[in-house]
Amino acid sequence: MMETERLVLPPPDPLNLPLRALEVGCTGRWELLNVPGPPESTLPHGLPPCAPDLCQEAEQLFLSSPAWLPLHGVEHSARKWQRKTDPWSLLAALGTPVPSDLQAQRHPTTGHILGYKEVLLENTNLSATTSLSLRRPPGPASQSLWGNPTQYPFWPGGMDEPSITDLTTREEAEEEIDFEKDLLTVPPGFKKGVDFAPKDHPAPVPGLLSLSRLLEPLDLSGGDEDEGEAAGGQRGEAASAPPSSTPLVRASSLEDLVLKEASTVASTLQPPKPLPQEQWAVPVDVTSPVGDFYRLIPQPAFQWAFEPDVFQKQAILHLEQHNSVFVAAHTSAGKTVVAEYAIALAQKHMTRTIYTSPIKALSNQKFRDFRNTFGDVGLLTGDVQLHPEASCLIMTTEILRSMLYSGSDVIRDLEWVIFDEVHYINDAERGVVWEEVLIMLPEHVSIILLSATVPNALEFADWIGRLKRRQIFVISTVARPVPLEHYLFTGNSPKTQGELFLLLDSRGAFHTKGYYAAVEAKKDRMSKHAQTFGAKQPTHQGGPAQDRGVYLSLLASLRTRAQLPVVVFTFSRGRCDEQASGLTSLDLTTSSEKSEIHLFLQRCLARLRGSDRQLPQVLHMSELLRRGLGVHHSGILPILKEIVEMLFSRGLVKVLFATETFAMGVNMPARTVVFDSMRKHDGSTFRDLLPGEYVQMAGRAGRRGLDPTGTVILLCKGRVPEMADLHRMMMGKPSQLQSQFRLTYTMILNLLRVDALRVEDMMKRSFSEFPSRKDSKAHEQALDDLTKRLGALEEPDVTGQLADLPEYYSWAEELTETRNMIQRRIMESVNGLKSLSVGRVVVVKNEEHHNALGVILQVSSNSTSRVFTTLVLCDKPVVSENPRDKEPATADVPHPDDLVGFKLFLPEGPCEHTVAKLQPGDVAAISTKVLRVNGEKISEDFSKRQQPKFRKDPPLAAVTTAVQELLRLAQAYPAGPPTLDPINDLQLKDVAVVEGGLRARKLEELIRGAQCVHSPRFPAQYVKLRERMQIQKEMERLRFLLSDQSLLLLPEYHQRVEVLRTLGYVDEAGTVKLAGRVACAMSSHELLLTELMFDNALSALRPEEIAALLSGLVCQSPGDPGDQLPSTLKQGVERVKAVAKRIGEVQVACGLNQTVEEFVGELNFGLVEVVYEWARGMPFSELAGLSGTPEGLVVRCIQRLAEMCRSLRGAARLVGEPVLGAKMETAATLLRRDIVFAASLYTQ
């Protein structure tokens, strides 16, 4: 044995201290102790053992180090087990979960089995493609954010999710099935099926199957009693039976027992539901202070550096109670405080919030603000996806709609959805998106609506409350944190820069004195101008020179009064650029501000490539910004717009020339707001600004905490506007929230693919249908009452001579309705109104007079219709407490004489007369007779005799003569005087009038031949029948109002479904086919894109050519593609137009009112060459020469085009087109570069 050698350590040095090393924990940290000794550890046995990774070990041993293999007999080193092939395993499928179970019904005392009942099981086989329930399991993690177009959405709040009871009741209400004759052999959607009938029996009917023949080989007589009862129970459950109220008894046949039991349960399982609370919109009083705010919320989820206003505290109190709120307040009033508290509350509850905005730029700005405040904030736009796992997500409303339709799992954790700028729902193009999202939101999501002041906030909130069946608390305030003063400015030179006239003060008082002073100042200058240059000079010169003089004098005046910064709203992109470029001599910044602006510009533009920094627009804007001027409109590059906004919010931009879009959304107030004009072009015509538009833009004046008042100035470059127009614009009510709901193919397809949701339900819940649907509960109650009344009425006798009584009633009603229609057309025609001149004899029929003759005395017109002053025959008034004493007993029962003619009124006693003012609807017929009367004298005489002291005076001779003439006519023509024929005399050639006249004559013949009128019981039975028929008619009207048939858009819906059916997107049964599922994945132009894909119109093209062609679908500026295009692109443009024309022709053939030219005209191919060269790599600086389109619009077009390429890529994968999918991926990559897709400054 070898002896181990002992190590000899050197003697300790004087510098060596007595230390001991101590290992702390298992993290590798050591400590030194001043006690000598060997190293120690705090763990009992040192570090815990760590097993090697099996994957790495296998890779090292078997793959990367083959040295372990033996030199000989390598075949024995690898082992393998032969797999037994089983092709039938490929056909194996999991069994369908059992949807129901049999439950025994036992006697409550003895426990004996009384029968069996089939019970449906809940939550069986739930998945994202079969169920709308929140109880379904989540989808794959990769689809948790955006969802999948094949997934179902979650149940919309306010729609009743069908329960087991509802499903059972619905099954019992279905039609009876004959199990002998009605079984199909061909499944729906299949062309042929399988015939299971035995060979020796002929098939009963093609497509049907006889169950009795199938059961012949089976011995159904054997088995014990329980089996027999179970079999009988199943047969009884399958077939439905008429309701029965017989109580449960022991029976030998379980079929009878189950049927009786089912009907009993159906009648007892529906307790009377209490009517829901009808006040869904609750106005909140914001005038009384909230004194106990901090007592009610001792630990608020978020605290500000300032004290919240009363309306903000009221909103926060309701948010703490998880209520939905609608906050309507002026711009800069502080609505964002409510949104911030909701976000903080969601973070406290560990839930999520979605903040939606109408425009992408506003989303970027809110992302920066909320990220600085909360940190945990994400952004989802068409091309940007930042922190999608955050508790607060900011997105546009279109993206939220897509997530709702695709069943995104984000909706599960959602507590609040905040809709900013809700008044954007009035937008004709995109307003429908807000309604779709509000309808589709699930029940557990609470809603916060932020809007400018609108007059119908309560009505809108009432609609949402009824929609979601929850109260909406409306918090509206008209108070401004900074009051505004409105001025007129008439100056145009340094001499006249003081011509600023107050028109509307901060208390809301309109100063007419200031208006007239402005008019006088303008008039004096005009007269001096005329003396100098001649009177023929135009009064309004809108050239750049005049604009430059006006703005120099105005800005000099504002600068001396320290009223900068100022926002100048100009309603034209070109004029914005002209006005800013014209102020070359104006410099409003100090040297330190210039330095700050220069550094900020350098830092922001550093992310651009070299050639992009030298773009003319970038250089021009940089020069303007250094002098304190800025321009903001849709033609400016997005990164420059953000630079302008940031510099303006810092106070470095002193004068900003902007279009109306700057007033949307973000709170960027100025000291002063200037309106270049009060007229704008709205896309079709020039008009004055609406009060809501004026208030939205004027609200940018006045910075809270800095300015005592905000100043609003309207420039008067030409004549001073009319006072009435100014008053209406400044003090009028803002526009109401109006529904812009319309049907789109995407909406229809998304709902058709879900069996439980119907497009009719979506239409029924839209804001446009709200006025007619809000009384549905009252209609249902009235329908129940009428049903009870109808059941209590006695049946009329229609036997024997009264057999044709129902026909007689229907003829009478139709004749009356036809005559009324003809008379209505006469009164609407020009010739009909001309014939109603003074002296014309007419038949009067209204509440006071029944077929009484009258003569027209005067004709006058008001704002809505004509009024005829008429002398009418009447009875001498009888003093009676009961008004029915004046009428004959059988006047209500129409005899043939009453219906065929007019059966004129004849006074029973002394003939009296009255003068009445008749509407056109009071004239039942126009006779051919004309009397010579003095209308004014008769009217004055009648008016005089209505006074008490002249009441007993005899009428004038003219009155007596007219009355006697009318009485003579009535006696000569008891069935009515000859009337003007609408076709021959009045020249009415309308088809409805001609057919109505023929039908009326036919009905008169039928009525004359009726036999029921000769029966002595005719009056009594007619009254009974009429009462019954009137109730039934009212019930039909109520049923129509409650049904889908009363929906305004229902005809268009059927037309659009027919278009989809013709194009092959849905089948005859309404099932969405593959093309329809592809169209669901498209964001816009779904039909055209899907047709192009299925026609293989894109597959043969290169990626850059596909991108260029698709630009015609997203480009908003019209233009011609030009002659320099390659032949491939020219052919492609023609092919796209041909496909669009084919779709348009199908739409016209199906009845839609959009012409083929209008549909094809939606395509604009003006940027095809620009996009083609951009996708081929041309720098942006060289694109400007290819098109006159502003740079900002080109960027927007390319950004939207990249989104469309991504949606097409997903659709190609859905269809199984990997080549097209790869091309669309390449096209999107080619487009996404340089300044067009420079990251937003707000997200950095």
Cα 233 to Cα 210, 267, 810, 1074: the distances in Å are 20, 20, 49, 41
Instruction: Report the pLDDT value the prediction gives residue 242, as an integer from 0 to 100.
Output: 41
CB 402 within 8 A of CB 426: no
Residues forming a β-bridge with 917: 869
Q: How many CB atoms lie within 10 A of CB 39?
A: 10
- 597-635 burial string, b = 16+ CB within 10 Å, else e? beebbeebbeebeeebbebebbeebbebbbbbbbbbbbb
Transcribe 475-516 into DSSP letters. Answer: EE----SS-EEEEEE---SGGGTT-EEEEE-TTS-B-HHHHH
360-364, 404-408, 1225-1229: range with lowest mean pLDDT:
360-364
**Over residues 200-215, mean pLDDT:** 49
pTM to 2 decimal places: 0.74
| pLDDT > 70: percent of the chain | 83
| Cα three-residue angle 1181-1185-1186, rounded to 5 degrees | 110
Residues forming a β-bridge with 379: 386, 394
Helix, strand and coil in the chain, % to nearest 5:
45, 15, 40
Q: How many CB atoms lie within 10 A of CB 806?
A: 15
Per residue in 291-340, pLDDT (tens digit) is 888 888 888 899 888 888 889 999 999 999 999 999 998 877 888 899 99
Nearest Cα neighbor of 824 from 928, 920, 902, 927 is 920
**CB within 8 Å of 1062: residues ≥ 6 apart:** 1146, 1149, 1150
Find tokens 């009741």 and name the residue.
Answer: 169
Which of 608-612, 1081-1085, 1217-1221 is most confident?
A: 1217-1221
Q: How many CB atoms lie within 10 A of CB 292?
A: 9
Q: Which residue has the higher pLDDT, 80 or 1029?
A: 1029
Q: Which residue has the higher pLDDT, 1169 or 269?
A: 1169
Find tokens 């833009």 and name the residue.
Answer: 697
Q: Does residue 745 register a pLDDT over 80?
A: yes
Q: Please report, as a single letter, which amino acid is at residue 1135.
A: R
102-106, 709-713, 909-913, 1092-1096: range with lowest mean pLDDT:
909-913
**Over residues 945-952, mean pLDDT:** 79
Per-residue pLDDT band at 437 (split at 50, 70, 90)? very high
Instruction: Report the pLDDT value the prediction gives residue 442, as an integer from 0 to 100.
Output: 93
Cα 134 from Cα 412, distance rounded (Å): 7
Tokens of 825: 């057309």
Q: Please report, as a single letter, which amino acid is at residue 767.
A: F
CB 142 within 8 A of CB 256: no
Nearest Cα neighbor of 1241 from 371, 402, 410 is 371
Nearest Cα neighbor of 1227 from 1115, 1110, 1104 is 1104
Instruction: Report the pLDDT value the prediction gives residue 165, as an integer from 0 to 100.
Output: 66
258-262, 407-411, 687-691, 1095-1099: range with lowest mean pLDDT:
258-262
CB 1099 within 8 A of CB 1220: yes
| Cα three-residue angle 635-639-641, rounded to 5 degrees | 55
Instruction: Report the pLDDT value the prediction gives residue 888, as an integer from 0 to 100.
Output: 39
Q: Does residue 597 register a pLDDT over 50?
A: yes
Transcribe 1113-1178 into DSSP letters. Answer: HH--S-----S-S-HHHHHHHHHHHHHHHHHHHHHHHTT-S--HHHHHHT---TTHHHHHHHHTT-
**Over residues 1116-1139, mean pLDDT:** 82
CB 869 within 8 A of CB 910: no
CB 855 within 8 A of CB 966: yes
Find tokens 């405080």 and name the residue.
Answer: 337
Find tokens 């007369």 and name the residue.
Answer: 913
Q: Does residue 886 register a pLDDT over 80?
A: no
**Over residues 549-553, mean pLDDT:** 84
Instruction: Report the pLDDT value the prediction gives residue 27, as an integer from 0 to 100.
Output: 62
**CB within 8 Å of 680: residues ≥ 6 apart:** 571, 660, 686, 687, 689, 693
For 200, phi and psi rounded to 5 degrees? -80, -5
Instruction: Report the pLDDT value the prediction gives residue 46, as an integer from 0 to 100.
Output: 55
Q: Does residue 501 register a pLDDT over 70?
A: yes
Q: Does residue 418 register a pLDDT over 90?
A: yes
Instruction: Report the pLDDT value the prediction gives residue 410, as an integer from 0 to 100.
Output: 92
Instruction: Report the pLDDT value the prediction gives residue 248, as an integer from 0 to 100.
Output: 42
Cα 342 from Cα 320, distance rounded (Å): 9
Instruction: Report the pLDDT value the prediction gives residue 112, as an integer from 0 to 100.
Output: 87
Instruction: Report the pLDDT value the prediction gives residue 447, as an integer from 0 to 100.
Output: 94
Q: Does residue 204 register a pLDDT over 70?
A: no
Per residue in 954-993, pLDDT (tens digit) is 788 888 888 888 888 888 887 778 888 787 777 777 788 8
Per-residue pLDDT band at 566 (split at 50, 70, 90)? very high
Tokens of 295: 């007592």
**Over residues 576-590, mean pLDDT:** 85
- Cα torsion 830, 835, 836, 840 to 10°: value is 180
| pLDDT > 90: percent of the chain | 14
Nearest Cα neighbor of 328 from 697, 692, 774 is 692
Cα 612 from Cα 607, distance rounded (Å): 10
Per-residue pLDDT band at 197 (split at 50, 70, 90)? low
Residues forming a β-bridge with 16: none
316-330, 783-797, 1144-1158: range with lowest mean pLDDT:
783-797
Instruction: Report the pLDDT value the prediction gives residue 864, as an integer from 0 to 100.
Output: 63
Per-residue pLDDT band at 1090 (split at 50, 70, 90)? very high
CB 993 within 8 A of CB 983: yes
**Over residues 1029-1046, mean pLDDT:** 82
- 1184-1205 burial string, b = 16+ CB within 10 Å, else e? bebbebbbbbbbbbbbbbbbbb
Mean per-residue pLDDT of the chain: 80
Per residue in 644-695, pLDDT (tens digit) is 988 988 889 999 998 887 877 566 778 899 998 888 877 778 888 888 888 8
